[in-house]
Amino acid sequence: MGVTIAPPTERTCERCGRTEHWDEEADGWQIATEVGDVYCIHHWDINGTYVPIER
């Protein structure tokens, strides 16, 4: 029985609304929609409710 860790593929800033998605080719986060506040210290919506473990 193996366990797979599934990292998030999308994230949204709870402060300014910036949305990003994970780009496999770039191996990094890319802006998906609007830039949001460029001066925001982003607070991503990935918290204790996100479960990265798949069985």
List, for residues 1-55, the tens digit of each pLDDT value.
577 877 888 999 999 999 999 998 998 999 987 778 889 998 888 776 766 676 6
- Locate the domains of the chain by residue range: 1-55
pTM of the full predicted structure?
A: 0.70
Q: How far is Cα 8 from Cα 45, in angstroms, rounded to an integer?
A: 10
Largest CA distance in the chain: 45
Helices (H), 1-55: none
